[in-house]
């Protein structure tokens, strides 16, 4: 069941975006990733993932706010659990 409130609008929930194939490849090259399984994972049933309609195999960029660095990107691979 999808939430009735858009949790992505809450100030404590970081921005989640699905990377395009080109952006995904750039991240893989930048961090010298050999296998997608090297990325941390996030479940396809996570509420934020469901709201952005991400599918297993998608790479998600999560932009967290940081006191010291302003914003920091984190990457997660969507998996089926």
**Cα three-residue angle 21-24-27, rounded to 5 degrees:** 155
40: CATH? 3.90.940.20
With 0.85 as the threshold, say if the pTM is over it.
Answer: yes
Structural domain span for residue 11:
7-79
Domain count, the chain: 1
* pLDDT tens for each residue of 36-73: 999 999 999 999 999 999 999 999 999 998 888 899 99
Please check whether residue 1 lies inside any domain of the structure. Answer: no
Please check whether residue 2 lies inside any domain of the structure. Answer: no
């Amino acid at each position: 069941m999808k939430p009735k409130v858009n949790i992505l609008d809450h100030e404590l929930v970081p921005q989640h975006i699905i990377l395009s194939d080109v952006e995904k490849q750039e991240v893989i090259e930048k961090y010298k990733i050999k296998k997608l399984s090297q990325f941390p994972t996030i479940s396809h049933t996570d509420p934020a993932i469901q709201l952005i309609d991400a599918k297993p195999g998608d790479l998600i960029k999560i932009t967290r706010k940081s006191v010291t660095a302003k914003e920091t990107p984190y990457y997660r691979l969507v998996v089926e659990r």
